[in-house]
Amino acid sequence: MPSRKKAQGKARKAAKAEKAEEEGKKQSAVGANNEQQALGAQIQRLQLQDLFSEHDDDTTGDDCLHGHTLLPEDDVAHQFMKSFMGHYYDAVNADGRKLGPDKFHAAIKATDEDLGIQTTENEVRMDWVLSFLYGLGAQFILDDSESRARMHAEIACFFELLKCATFGTEQPEFFETQIADIHTLVSFYRKKIPCSCLDEKYEEVKSVSKVGLCRNLNCSLPGHLVKRSKMLYCTACGTTNYCSRECQVEDWKRHKKT
């Protein structure tokens, strides 16, 4: 990355941190949020607000929203996202920062209860939610915040699955957000956003071998990770993959029941 860009990124990060701190002060002064929240959840939430408010005072183009369009704060989609993220972070933090579909569905349920409507049963709203997650995740990649980018890729994937199940839209691509290599992660976001903001990053990481997870629980490879190009797919279901014929055979007893 050219150093000018890096410096810009740093300056932007510093400005963001400052803004977040300000917001934090504002929030605690008002005492609007009386729920008990973990520090991590607070920080994440501030970032969310930060992204939403970014374009209000600065339209230099340096802070592209990567295809996301801002909605007024009282818009139901905006309220949904804010509430959902709060519930999701709380659920994740309450379980030792472990992600997973259970947290996702719990957060959806709690959010529907908050708002009194089934927000996810509106396709336009779902698309807005997805564009928010893609934009935020792309920004995390640019800010070198890989773990956050992963987390939001996982949330986006769950929303894609939910959208597919609700509206019969295209089946989302199979994507192991938690173990994916940086090449796969950057590709995921780059394909989702309409701008070219991740092109430079993609050039940086495209030589990294794509890896996947061998599904044999007793696989002997470190972390059960295998290069995608070497992966074998189960011919019965087409989605379960293995590092070797041995692992596939070993796992068959378990897998055939699923």
Chain contacts with Zn ion (rule: CB under 5 A): 64, 66, 195, 197, 214, 216, 219, 234, 236-237, 240, 243, 247
The minimum distance between CB 224 and Zn ion, in angstroms, equals: 6
The minimum distance between CB 102 and Zn ion, in angstroms, equals: 23
> Which residue, 175 or 252, has its beta carbon nearer to Zn ion?
252
- Residues forming a β-bridge with 213: 225
**162-193 per-residue burial string, b: 16 or more CB within 10 A, e: under 16:** bbeeeeeeeeeeebbbeebbbbbbbbbbbebb
The minimum distance between CB 218 and Zn ion, in angstroms, equals: 8
The minimum distance between CB 204 and Zn ion, in angstroms, equals: 16
> Which residue, 136 or 151, has its beta carbon nearer to Zn ion?
136
The minimum distance between CB 86 and Zn ion, in angstroms, equals: 26
> Which residue, 150 or 224, has its beta carbon nearer to Zn ion?
224
- Residues forming a β-bridge with 212: 226
Residue with tokens 């992204």: 51
- Residues forming a β-bridge with 225: 213
> Which residue, 77 or 197, has its beta carbon nearer to Zn ion?
197
> Which residue, 7 or 236, has its beta carbon nearer to Zn ion?
236
